[in-house]
Amino acid sequence: MKYCSDCGTEVVKKIPVDDDRLRFVCPLCEITHYQNPKVVVGCLPTAGQQILLCRRAIEPRIGYWTIPAGFMENGETMLDGALRETREEAAAKVKGETLYRLFDIPHINQVYVLYLGELDGDFGIGPETLESRLFSEDEIPWTELAFPIVTDVLTEYFKDRKTGKFPIRVSIPSPLWAKHVGWKLPT
């Protein structure tokens, strides 16, 4: 951030009174501009024994597979956002949706909130999707998944499906994705 969004004055970084972090503060109008994590919402749509995935038409990771997800908008609930993203990216509706997975990703200032739901009708593509397709467990393109959270949520879903129990989990992404796509993790 360079300028105050209220008055246009160049901001400075300082620790405001009664705070413990560097913040952008306007020296003229004294407004503190907080920069908080972005919330990403999405859905893991199922159809029988299959999962709906979307091939990304935008960066980052264009051409790679993901679940329908995106940034939450002001004025919507997490579930509303997840359902909207599913409509926008996969032209799909889901029913029976339940909260399924939360990811904390502090190094990029994001929180992921994912729902599990059953595909309700047809599906297609939106402007951010090259194609969408149903995959059975043995068809998942593990080396072509866009993000670590996709690998994690799919791996957990297939394990959970075997037990019939779908607990809500909260964690950071695991290193499993890097292993699948051949990335070397820093040591």
* pLDDT reported for residue 183: 64
Pairing of strands 12-14, 110-119: unpaired
Whole-angstrom distance, CA of residue 130 vs CA of residue 66: 11
Spell out the domain ranges in the chain: 1-35, 38-181
pTM above 0.85, yes or no: yes
**Tens-binned pLDDT, residue by residue, of the chain (187 aa):** 999 999 999 999 999 999 999 999 999 999 999 999 999 999 999 999 999 999 999 999 999 999 999 999 999 999 999 999 999 999 999 999 999 999 999 989 999 999 999 999 999 999 999 999 999 999 999 999 999 999 999 999 999 999 999 999 999 998 877 777 776 655 5
* pLDDT reported for residue 187: 59
Q: What's domain 1-35's architecture?
A: Single Sheet (2.20)
- C-beta neighbour count of 136 within 10 angstroms: 10
Whole-angstrom distance, CA of residue 7 vs CA of residue 3: 8
What CATH number was assigned to the domain covering residues 38-181? 3.90.79.10
* pLDDT reported for residue 67: 98
